Structure 1
Amino acid sequence: MKRLVRIAFLLVALGFGAWAVASKWDEIQTGFARLSWQSLVLSLVAVIAALCGGMMTWRALLADLGSPLPFRAGAKVFFVGQLGKYIPGSLWPVIAQMEMGRELGVPRSRSAAAFFLTLPVQLASGLLISAVTLLTALPGSVAPYAWVFLLIPVLAVVFEPRVINAVVGFGLRKLKREPLERPLTRRGMLTALGWALLGWTAYGLHLAAIIHELGLSGVSMVVFSIGAFALSWCLGIMTFVVPAGAGVREVAMVAVLAPVLDQGSAIAAALCSRIVIVLGDLICAGIAGLAARRSVDSQSDSVQGKAV
């Protein structure tokens, strides 16, 4: 029964992912026509690195809460679960991660805590790195979004373990759940923050590979790309009702890129970025699932060999 549910989840998630591509196919073809295959490959490699950074952020938080997972197992839980973000509704990824994590001995409450902590860590680090990089590369581009950066001091409480442990404990009590066995530590939070910042850097390189083909180059544009992507992601993730921030992130990216690209080029960059990220999600989920399956099969063969 669990296998059927998991297959159904994957089929639905993949269906919505395919729909996200098909619904904008004409625009996507136009955008890709302006890019070389080398830039697309570089962009995809950077996206995969960025997605791994997100996985390591989540894995660091989960380990700090008391459930360290091996890399392969953690990658499978995270990447396969993340496909749920393409399904309308905000809870599919956490539900999938909770169920897959439970099979590995991770309590549901701990999986949920790691998932919901990952979002504010990424949001706070994303706003921080976008403010620094945009101010460094193109100070005038920050002015229209100054109000967003006011959230940075508020989100900074995430990095104080005493505060976040109290908030998590309060939430679990209200939900009548068991308290967390291990509180978050400052070391664990800083480790998660470090991985998140590396992830944003890789996302910026992914966007830089795209806009380089649209006529922009240089170190300052790479720095600008890091901030532009991080800011557009943060604006998109604030719209929880939209699957994976679909549409909102692209609109935000077009607006953020306006100072350096004409509207047509900015739209092409945003659409290409979206499709490369969808491909990255599918590749990471596929590789992680196969790697975890091979690991289980090899362990099973080893056990059978010893029995013989």
Structure 2
Amino acid sequence: MISGEPPVPPSGGRGVRGPVVKRLARVVFLALALGFGAWVVVRQWDEIRDGFARLSWPSLVLSLVAVVAALCGGMMTWRALLADLGSPLPLRAGARVFFVGQLGKYIPGSLWPVIAQMEMGRELGVPRSRSAAAFFLTLPVQLGSGLVVAGVTLSATLPGSVAPYAWAFLLIPVLAVAFQPRVVNAVLGFGLRRLGREPLERPLTRRGLLVALGWALAGWVAYGLHLAAIVADLDPGGSPGFSALSVAAFCVGAFALSWCLGIMTFVVPAGAGVREVAMVAVLAPVLDRGPAIAVALCSRIVIIAGDLLCAGLAGLAVRRAGGSRKDHASGKAV
């Protein structure tokens, strides 16, 4: 090549188009997720405004902090499963993949979060099949642990409250059998073969499942505290015969059960509407219908705010880490 001649660009500009297309896809994904999330809020704005007008700032902040803790419990559940399958991710990178991907749950259809996590995980060296396996394992872990938590706490605080939902608790023994490592690995292997994918390099272990289960249980406790903070403001008189600890335990079970009922409805974005209806019904023994509706709607909005906050903070943390590495590299180069 003659000296001074400009380099020839890659054929077709693929090296440039690839990152641009990925960036555009992320923008479209985030726009759709935020748009549908806003639609959930606008649709019930009058009821939400009335409910929030009755909430004090301390209760609102406490509820949001508890939601963030609960969402982090969900992220750690997924991260533990992914690590057990052979792809341990650093905390910051894992948080970004999980929380940004989770915004897809606000888009109608149940596959948007897993598609987002698969694509972002692939950039970090995680095979798509492994990302998909971790995603689809996280939901049953949360569902099974949620039903157990709901059954224990609701039965302990108000035994009759679980009777109308006995059919849902029939899933517990089914999930207990299905979540034996041999069964899980056999199902995953069969599914990957049917999809024409390579089998997982590492099978899921009992230890990995137990670690994921522990994080899921911690998440349910945090979700219950989030709901208890709202109930304390909207029902300041409390329920006769219930101590503050009993109300908190009841809220743990009420939220877990309403979440499980909501997640069973895959066609609704993030269980929108189903979870609120279930929560109002579950709270009926301790709250009148009006306050119960306000509690359910306030809970929904705090969770949406928590999703956005976690996604924003995770993305910011990764950018700052990337900037620090670049600065460090520049310093070395000098």
* TM-score, length-scaled by structure 1: 0.99
Q: In the alignment, does 2:168 pair up with 1:148?
A: yes
2:245 partner letter = V
Separation in 2 of the partners of 1:165 and 1:58? 16
Correspondence for 1:81 = 101
Q: Structure 1 segments of 4 or more deviating over 6 A?
A: none
Correspondence for 1:277 = 303
Q: How many residues align?
A: 308
Q: Is the 8 A contact 1:59 1:69 kept in 2?
A: yes
Separation in 2 of the partners of 1:146 and 1:12? 37
Correspondence for 1:57 = 77
Q: In the alignment, does 2:195 pair up with 1:175?
A: yes
Separation in 1 of the partners of 2:315 and 2:148? 33
Q: Is the 8 A contact 1:121 1:158 kept in 2?
A: no
Q: Is the 8 A contact 1:65 1:183 kept in 2?
A: yes
Q: In the alignment, does 2:207 pair up with 1:187?
A: yes
2:140 aligns with one of 104, 120, 133:
120
Separation in 2 of the partners of 1:157 and 1:70? 32
Separation in 1 of the partners of 2:65 and 2:125? 32
What percentage of aligned pairs have identical amino acids? 80
Q: In the alignment, does 2:186 pair up with 1:166?
A: yes
* TM-score, length-scaled by structure 2: 0.91
1:290 aligns with one of 292, 313, 316:
316
1:260 partner letter = V
1:36 CA displacement: 0.9
Correspondence for 1:130 = 150
Separation in 2 of the partners of 1:175 and 1:294? 38
Any stretches of 5+ residues in structure 1 without a counterpart?
A: none
Correspondence for 1:3 = 23
Correspondence for 1:306 = 332
Separation in 2 of the partners of 1:198 and 1:288? 20
Separation in 1 of the partners of 2:34 and 2:268? 16
1:8 CA displacement: 1.2
Q: In the alignment, does 2:270 pair up with 1:244?
A: yes
2:234 alignment partner, SS class: coil
Any stretches of 5+ residues in structure 2 without a counterpart?
A: 1-20
Root-mean-square deviation over aligned CA pairs: 0.8
Correspondence for 1:17 = 37
1:32-80 deviation line (CA, Å, top 9, x unaligned): 1121111111000000000000000000000000000000000000000
1:213 alignment partner, SS class: helix
1:158 CA displacement: 4.3
1:11 partner letter = A
Q: Which one is further off, 217-226 or 185-194?
A: 217-226
